[in-house]
Structure 1
Amino acid sequence: MGSQSEPNGPTTRKPVLFFDIDNCLYPRSAKVYDLMADMIDKYFAAHLGLPEHEAVKLHRDYYRNYGLAIEGLVRHHQIDPLEYNAKVDDALPLEGIIKPDPRLRRLLEDVDTAKVKLWLFTNAYVTHGRRVVKLLGIDDLFDGLTYCDYAQTPIICKPHRDMFAKAMREAGVERAEDCYFVDDSYANVAGAQQLGWTAVHLVEEGLPIPETQASQYQIRHLEQLREIFPQFFKTPDRE
């Protein structure tokens, strides 16, 4: 994988297919999000001295208002974001949960990289993002990774337009129409579409379909990308 948070060579007109990581490259049913949410709640309670129910509420409020719980912690409580990352994301026992996914690897290997660049785009910190794709056995298939830099102030994350601009800059793409994006977050997908990206909302099988679609494309499984973007695959109809 290309160097983190740095442009992968000169800007080209080649389109970029951006993938979110958590609950996108592995299923929500793996329960990583639930485990993470529990650890965040415990962090809030321990570091802010809150009863559990208040910690849960504040966590949800910050997530809703800022897109990331950590932004609220840094903004309002002067929490060290890298210490938070070490105690929460990096402390997750992912090795027992996330395993190599041969089908996902086949799908990504079948992308024609002469026609499109593959790039990771996450609201997690770099250590978590790299750890997940390595456990999935796909870390060698992406040109680079745009992540939420917890060390910067203010913290910028999806769906803020500056985060999408950062991803374009780091992936070396100038035009919004050359950006293709897959994410499980309604807000992130809607934000990308508003900026002119071609966005795909992954709504995992078993989850309710939104009343109003977040974007032009909505899928239940990543394999459906073959149908939506056949121009990017060597064998579009391959199962």
Structure 2
Amino acid sequence: MTALSRTPRAFAAVDTWVFDLDNTLYPHHVNLWQQVDARIRDFVANHLQVSPEEAFRIQKDYYRRYGTTMRGMMTEHGVVADDFLAYVHEIDHSPLQPNPEMGAAIARLPGRKLILTNGSRDHAASVLARLGIGHHFEAVFDIIAADLEPKPAEATYARFLKLHGVDPARAAMFEDLARNLVVPHRLGMTTVLVTPDGTTEVVREDWELEGRDAAHVDHVTDNLTGFLTRLAEDLRPA
């Protein structure tokens, strides 16, 4: 756990553990999302009949402004969400390897475990199956459950909390994007930013790696499995 210059929120009262999916439950350097990223660029290029370079520019512009490229394509060009999701998630999940150590640490955390992702339920199911940890989670709240409004929109967190009866003051949120922790922290959740471990090259925008020192980030880790293992040990009843 990374020590910050202020007092971070603790985990003693947490009974609900909320995890992002991509680049959070598996290491950034797997670059699985790079495959999705390429599929998104191709979808934009084909739909708008523009060059790959222009498609990439549009893709990243919409991603930053709307939270997801899909939301931008829906808003600006009337794209059907199901068509977009089906196309961009046709990827090879084989780079993901089973992670029984993470599964054991998640299982030892006291209380409920949920996933909150901007991806689709089918994509989440494929990722969790490859990691071998899906049975530890009570539910997956995906972009469809979010009424197609992605994180970091406040309404999405409100829908999630209401649907699953989560008290944010008793919940922790694990994310790889600091901006997606702003609202959870404001609502009272303990927040954890999962960063690349720095030993392997990752494909990310510069702004995606910012925010580790922000006031809304309580803890930072570049090794989620190790973090959860130590956390579960700390929370074990005496």
Q: What TM-score comes out, normalization by structure 2 length?
A: 0.82
Q: Give the letter for the 1:195 counterpart.
A: L
Q: Give the letter for the 1:46 counterpart.
A: N
Residue 99 of structure 1: how far off its partner (Å): 2.2
Gaps in structure 2 of 5+ consecutive residues: 1-12, 203-208
Q: 1:233 to 1:92 in 2, by over 3 A?
A: farther
Q: Give the letter for the 1:140 counterpart.
A: H
1:90-126 CA deviation, whole Å, 9 max, x = no partner?
x1111x21121122122112223xxx21111111111
Residue 171 of structure 1: how far off its partner (Å): 2.2
Establish whether residue 202 from structure 1 lines up as the match of residue 158 from structure 2.
no
Q: What is the aligned partner in structure 2 of residue 9 from structure 1?
A: none
Cα distance in 2 between the residues matched to 1:170 and 1:231: 30
Cα distance in 2 between the residues matched to 1:197 and 1:85: 29
2:172 to 180, 187, 201: 180
Residues 168, 188 of structure 2: 8 Å contact kept: yes
CA RMSD of aligned residues (A): 2.3
Q: What is the aligned partner in structure 2 of residue 10 from structure 1?
A: none
2:223 to 221, 224, 237: 221
Q: How many residues matched?
A: 215
Q: What secondary structure does 2:118 align onto?
A: coil
Q: What is the aligned partner in structure 1 of residue 126 from structure 2?
A: 131
Q: Give the letter for the 1:105 counterpart.
A: G
Q: 1:77 to 1:150 in 2, by over 3 A?
A: farther
Residues 125, 134 of structure 2: 8 Å contact kept: yes
Q: What is the aligned partner in structure 2 of residue 98 from structure 1?
A: 96
Residue 226 of structure 1: how far off its partner (Å): 4.6
Q: What TM-score comes out, normalization by structure 1 length?
A: 0.82
Gaps in structure 1 of 5+ consecutive residues: 1-12
Establish whether residue 156 from structure 1 lines up as the match of residue 152 from structure 2.
no
Residue 81 of structure 1: how far off its partner (Å): 1.0
> What is the correspondence of 1:21-40 to structure 2 with a 5 Å cutoff?
21-40=21-40
Residue 69 of structure 1: how far off its partner (Å): 0.5
Q: What is the aligned partner in structure 2 of residue 3 from structure 1?
A: none
Identity %: 22
Residues 16, 171 of structure 1: 8 Å contact kept: no
Q: 1:234 to 1:63 in 2, by over 3 A?
A: farther
Cα distance in 2 between the residues matched to 1:73 and 1:100: 34
Q: Give the letter for the 1:41 counterpart.
A: R
Q: What secondary structure does 2:18 align onto?
A: strand
Q: What secondary structure does 1:98 align onto?
A: coil
Residues 17, 114 of structure 2: 8 Å contact kept: yes
Q: Give the letter for the 1:52 counterpart.
A: P
Residues 17, 180 of structure 1: 8 Å contact kept: yes
1:57-110 CA deviation, whole Å, 9 max, x = no partner?
000000000111100111111111101111111x1111x211211221221122
Q: Give the letter for the 1:121 counterpart.
A: L
Q: What is the aligned partner in structure 2 of residue 145 from structure 1?
A: 140
Q: What is the aligned partner in structure 2 of residue 111 from structure 1?
A: 109
1:162-189 CA deviation, whole Å, 9 max, x = no partner?
111122123222x321121101111112
List, as ranges, runs of 4+ consecutive aligned residues in structure 1 with deviation greater than 4 Å: 207-211, 226-235
Residue 193 of structure 1: how far off its partner (Å): 1.1
